[in-house]
Structure 1
């Protein structure tokens, strides 16, 4: 995707003078993509292992909602506990760990279908979020919840630094650690990995917990950015997560892909979104154009990975061997 990203940067600079300004790049592209980047890392690790988790989207709302409701005052729709904000942040990650452990238990230990389990969990968590909040938005959050959205070390928003650390750590972990290599082995051939002594169920169980913890972190980043917690924050983002992962070269069949590649998918979608906003495209056309660009990017990615063979199949039929022709005549 790097050549496509370079072309988009050149194109964006031509169509709008504000595109390559420091504020636009840091705030409207990179900082705005931080939540997506963290979720893509979480989902990509699961996909490489041959699994996935749809419920990460719901944790973006549920974890900060349950955390904040125990901290903010009653007039801000809290429950009156008034807990210390630091304890509230710990609750935020505890919620994520609990949901991840349940998903991991059902998928890894009980061998249930990951799609059905996490889809059911997505719906369940959305209902819980609406129930505990009564559909209201929590505000007057303590500084512990919002400082991430206000601090910019070296002129770069803190949420960008956090996303970069998450990406770099996950990339190093998958490439150089023993467990990272085991994750690729599980996604490539789970039976062979098990025969080689890999504790498959343990690794997958741990991956679900890590992914849910990262989803909780993404929820904290989004909360800090908007300085509030809404019951529907993060809705629909799971589709963009899968799009960015696949565009970045993560194989949905498992066993292949790199976190840095997935990060380029996040950057590509962030640039496209920013260009649409700067071009003042009517909002009712944005989603259609966004989807079309994702499809085009997927085709380009497939063509690049197959050396052009993918595009060739679109224009000419497959060759039929002489032996096949002879068989047809017979």
Structure 2
């Protein structure tokens, strides 16, 4: 095969998902009346922002040769924690901070901390205790979702503080700020995976963990960091969920896990 043709074919195969997306958008724009509108595309991006963020954290663990089935429940627990503290109706406590803008970083840090702690717990059992990631994270999927039910009593938290909900209302260049957060996460972690030793080490671990260890790379540390990041990013997804729904319910995010796995696999995660 001609080298130039081969290179072009490799480019098409590496970016096949983007060509498929473009094809779908063109077909829908032609055959669905009033589909080709910036507002509709903005809504699609906004609706997929939570799933996109969750998929980024899941991809880190999958690239490293493991899996994390707990991300959906972690997002729900993080959203419920934010909802209980900063919602004013239902089971919300209506906590107020002054100045009001402080509620944004505090709620975000709370969501990241909840997710990161569960991720650290999963990572410790997988790496140090040598338990199966499938079993551990499946158990976490169950007990974390159960914890959401226990904490909430099956009830919902409503009317999220306006300072936090502001992120779900404001737009920048036609896109909601929540969508820009998802785009920012994608760019940052793409650079981390492509340009940093940590990213390259994760790929090596996923390819051959034993050989990577014998090459002098700290496999255990990198794996634990991957699980912590997956949990923290799931917490960020939960924060975005709370903003989108202006609160949290006991069944928030049900079904996101399988969509996140599909997104990672279709997106090229091995």
Measured against the shorter chain, the TM-score band is: 0.7 to 0.9
* Secondary structure of 2:158's aligned partner: coil
Name the CA distance, whole Å, in 2 between partners of 1:193 and 1:10.
44
Q: 1:54 aligns with which of 69, 91, 96?
A: 69
Equivalent residues of 1:18, 1:24 under 8 A apart: no
Equivalent residues of 1:145, 1:223 under 8 A apart: no
Deviation larger for 86-95 or 146-155: 86-95
The answer to whether the aligner puts 1:65 opposite 2:84 as a matched pair is no
Name stretches of at least 5 consecutive residues in structure 1 with no aligned partner.
252-330
Name stretches of at least 5 consecutive residues in structure 2 with no aligned partner.
1-16, 98-102
Deviation larger for 14-23 or 41-50: 14-23
Name the CA distance, whole Å, in 2 between partners of 1:202 and 1:98.
15
Equivalent residues of 1:137, 1:228 under 8 A apart: yes
Task: State the 1:2 CA deviation.
Answer: 2.4
Deviation larger for 182-191 or 154-163: 154-163
Task: State the 1:48 CA deviation.
Answer: 0.6
Q: TM-score, normalised by structure 1?
A: 0.72
Name the CA distance, whole Å, in 1 between partners of 2:124 and 2:241.
28
Q: 1:44 aligns with which of 33, 36, 59?
A: 59
Deviation string, structure 1 residues 280-328 (Cα, Å, up to 9, x no partner): xxxxxxxxxxxxxxxxxxxxxxxxxxxxxxxxxxxxxxxxxxxxxxxxx
The answer to whether the aligner puts 1:232 opposite 2:221 as a matched pair is no
Point out the structure with the larger strand share.
2
Equivalent residues of 1:76, 1:138 under 8 A apart: yes
Name the CA distance, whole Å, in 1 between partners of 2:39 and 2:185.
23
1:302 aligns with none
Q: Which fold has the larger relative contact order, with Cα–Cα distance below 8 Å and residues 6 or more apart in sequence?
A: 2
Task: State the 1:88 CA deviation.
Answer: 3.7
After superposition, where does 1:72-91 map in structure 2 within 5 Å? 72-73=87-88, 75-78=89-92, 80=93, 82=95, 84=97, 85-86=103-104, 87-91=106-110
Equivalent residues of 2:79, 2:247 under 8 A apart: no
After superposition, where does 1:170-209 map in structure 2 within 5 Å? 170-209=189-228
Cα-Cα RMSD: 1.5
1:270 aligns with none
Q: TM-score, normalised by structure 2?
A: 0.88
* Secondary structure of 2:157's aligned partner: coil
Deviation string, structure 1 residues 111-166 (Cα, Å, up to 9, x no partner): 11000000000000110001111111111211243122101012211111111110
- What is the aligned length? 248
Name the CA distance, whole Å, in 1 between partners of 2:108 and 2:264.
28
Name the CA distance, whole Å, in 1 between partners of 2:256 and 2:233.
14
Name the CA distance, whole Å, in 2 between partners of 1:207 and 1:141.
31
Name the CA distance, whole Å, in 2 between partners of 1:10 and 1:129.
42
Task: State the 1:203 CA deviation.
Answer: 0.4
